[in-house]
């Protein structure tokens, strides 16, 4: 939710389900804003030497979600304004919600479950755990109210990346 404390010096955090296009949008925004870019999937590989999917297989999904929260909170602690693509699981943690509200302009990407499932199937990196359309739809539905509460801007992820970038840039608060 947009507050007076959010300005161009705030972090810009992209949230949404796996495969919605957070990394594509985040890296494009970082380039346009000339900011460093942090991606939770890449940070997890860098910190743990393995993918989130492998961590979930080894230690369980709850453990992966704790790691995803820690990774985002670490990024939000950086004094330099960043662009961050964060795992959707972070919205289920109150401390993360508080940190996002205080330190970030939050963009939520949304798309129908069938679109996200198709994107996941086309992803060859295999860093995401596989989910059926029904599982994904239920997860998205459960998290939707939390995403809406945190969102400063919500976008349909089916748009062209350049159009999404322009929409975010035009919505950013002015210092």
CA dihedral sign, ordered 59, 53, 42, 171: negative
The tokens for 156 are 């349909």
Q: Any idea which fold 11-170 has?
A: Rossmann fold (3.40.50)
pLDDT at 164 over 70: yes
Task: Name the CA dihedral angle for 114, 126, 66, 86, rounded to a multiple of 10 degrees.
Answer: -60
Map out the domains of the chain as residue ranges.
11-170
CA distances from 128 to 45, 53, 64, 68 (A): 12, 5, 11, 13
Which pLDDT value is given to residue 66? 96
pLDDT tens-place string over residues 22-62: 999 999 999 999 999 999 999 999 999 999 889 988 999 89
pLDDT tens-place string over residues 55-114: 988 999 899 999 999 999 999 999 999 999 999 999 999 999 999 999 999 999 998 877
pLDDT tens-place string over residues 100-155: 999 999 999 998 877 777 766 666 555 556 667 777 778 888 888 999 999 999 99
């Amino acid at each position: 939710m947009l507050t007076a404390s959010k300005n161009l010096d705030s972090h810009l955090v992209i949230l949404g389900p796996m495969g919605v296009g957070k990394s594509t949008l985040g890296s494009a925004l970082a380039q346009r804003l000339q900011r460093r870019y942090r991606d939770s999937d890449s940070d997890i590989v860098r910190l743990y030497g393995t993918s989130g999917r492998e961590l979930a297989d080894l230690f369980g999904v709850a453990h992966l979600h704790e790691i995803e929260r820690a990774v985002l909170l670490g990024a939000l602690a950086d004094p330099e304004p960043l662009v961050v693509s964060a795992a959707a699981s972070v919205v289920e943690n109150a401390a993360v919600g508080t940190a996002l509200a205080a330190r970030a302009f939050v963009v939520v990407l949304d798309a129908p479950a069938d679109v996200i499932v198709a994107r996941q199937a086309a992803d060859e990196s295999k860093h995401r755990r596989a989910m059926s359309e029904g599982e994904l739809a239920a997860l998205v539905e459960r998290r939707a109210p939390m995403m809406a509460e945190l969102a400063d801007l919500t976008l349909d992820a089916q748009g062209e990346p350049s159009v999404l970038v322009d929409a975010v840039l035009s919505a950013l608060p002015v210092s």
